[in-house]
Chain A
């Protein structure tokens, strides 16, 4: 049965104690850990030294990592992960790992260990991007991506809202499709008037998430190619002042839990 965390329970009033959390074999402790999230396991490390050991074991963390975690590690220079324990690898991968020249990031959700990805606007094809009458690249400090560097000083908010107009007239179309025939599409007005607060009609410069759709990846071979787009083809009215930041690809139930207000 292996070693146990024995001698760690103390009885009160000298009464004879039955087995406690400290007396069960390592394999049972590992079984308990399968029902705990990484933050909860890290929390247990603070109980005492033996729990710290149990909470750092490779076998526990190997189960929390996704099966393809080596693919994520391949995006990181080898010297950064060579001698790391599985727990440290999880910690490393839970922070965004940039790739594709910094246009994309991938990371593990801390609670579920599932893989999430963000694609910056720089990694997208934008019609008319080279024409400064239509699009400008703005400061990256306000981006939700990390793009390798960020400063700690107060950032100047670049977007000014007087220019935002025309998005409440007609909706834009969001679409996604996969190479194996999955399709999703929806329409949204890019107008957040329902989210106004005491500031009245003043648009507050918050990033708004629009859900494009869901897709299922059944197998890692062949690779599932996903295409997504936002379109509004309409020249009957003028529009402007839109900031596009990034696209997030995250596991569906993560968004559910976020919406229900549970955990991250």
Chain B
């Protein structure tokens, strides 16, 4: 353990030089490999990383090395908090960090940043994701509809153990279908359509009543209750208190 005071020099794409403790620098598998297989005294070039980004990355590595070595008194929860704050950056920086973590092979940082991106994707409809990340839509309307249908299985209604996920909804389906009077959710229980509600009315409700259509029109309608509504990524989940089947 006597080599902890060894320093490694790193030069970034914008010609900035950083002198870093070896234990911190070798958090990067790439740097570790170069250091162990090259001349230990020379400067290591990290071509694809800028000074700003490397500086941030070294902060991350230092924090994690110190916490693991017990040099810093920080609980796992505090480290988790620290990580969460570390990734509160603008998108450009976030993606720069991903590219750099990938290039430098720092697995925990790559996981952290990719999970952050995943969290920005969760719960959003496609058009919201496009807006968030400035992604260009190159589908025709027909093609997008075909892709929606092709992936419908992931959102299909289920019965039995799970909750019911009602037919997938998308904003353009709504706006296209207003004329077809289809801006409604079909709630299917026991293989019968029992309710139609407009989506906007559902989203703010805590619970709704569902009426079953009886076979004989003169018998009274049977009321069931939907206990909870979650509006999710392109679908609405309704938690029913009664059984349902496919």
Query: With a CB–CB cut-off of 8 A, which chain A residues contact B242?
Result: 204-207
B25 within 8 A of A: no
Scan B15-41; emit 1 where CB is below 8 A from any A CB, else 0: 000000000000000000000000000
Which of B3-11, B76-84, B149-157 contacts the other chain? B149-157
CB of A264 within 8 A of CB of B126, answer: no
Q: How near does chain B come to A253, taking the closest CB pair, in angstroms?
A: 13
Chain B residues 71-123 with CB under 8 Å of chain A are: 91-93, 95-96, 98-99, 102-103, 110-111, 114-115, 117-119, 121-122
Which of B60-68, B160-168, B178-186, B195-203 contacts the other chain? B160-168
Q: How far is the CA of A264 from the CA of B170 in the complex (A)?
A: 19
Known pairs A19-B95, A40-B122, A264-B237; A207 contacts B162 (CB<8 A)? no
CB of A248 within 8 A of CB of B160, answer: yes
Q: What interface size band does chain B fall in?
A: 35 or more
Known pairs A20-B91, A24-B95; A8 contacts B136 (CB<8 A)? yes
A216 within 8 A of B: no
Q: For A32, give its contact among B91, B117, B225, B241 (CB under 8 Å).
A: B117
Q: How many residues of A are in contact with the other chain, CB < 8 A?
A: 73
B43 within 8 A of A: no
CB of A31 within 8 A of CB of B121, answer: no
Chain A residues 42-78 with CB under 8 Å of chain B are: 42-49, 51-52
B245 within 8 A of A: yes
Scan B202-246; emit 1 where CB is below 8 A from any A CB, else 0: 000000000001010000001111001010111101010111111
- Report 16 cross-chain contacts, Cβ distance below 8 Å, ordered by A residue: A20-B133, A24-B95, A31-B114, A39-B154, A43-B126, A44-B126, A46-B170, A91-B154, A94-B154, A116-B161, A144-B159, A154-B215, A155-B191, A198-B223, A246-B160, A264-B163
Query: With a CB–CB cut-off of 8 A, which chain B residues contact A213?
Result: none
Instruction: Label chain B's interface by main secondary structure.
Output: mixed
Query: With a CB–CB cut-off of 8 A, which chain A residues contact B223?
Result: 197-199
CB of A46 within 8 A of CB of B99, answer: no
CB of A19 within 8 A of CB of B92, answer: yes
B177 within 8 A of A: no
CB of B99 within 8 A of CB of A24, answer: yes
B148 within 8 A of A: yes
Query: With a CB–CB cut-off of 8 A, which chain A residues contact B92?
Result: 17-19
CB of B121 within 8 A of CB of A32, answer: yes
Query: Which residues of A are in contact with B by a Cβ distance under 8 Å?
Result: 1, 8-12, 17-25, 27-28, 31-36, 38-40, 42-49, 51-52, 91, 94-95, 109-110, 116, 118, 141-146, 150-152, 154-156, 195, 197-199, 204-207, 209, 246, 248, 250, 254, 258, 261-264
CB of A206 within 8 A of CB of B154, answer: no
Known pairs A207-B242, A264-B165; A47 contacts B129 (CB<8 A)? yes
CB of A263 within 8 A of CB of B225, answer: no
Q: How near does chain A come to B110, taking the closest CB pair, in angstroms?
A: 6
Q: For B241, give its contact among A10, A109, A206 (CB under 8 Å).
A: A206
Q: For A17, give its contact among B102, B110, B134 (CB under 8 Å).
A: B134
Query: With a CB–CB cut-off of 8 A, which chain B residues contact A146?
Result: 245-246
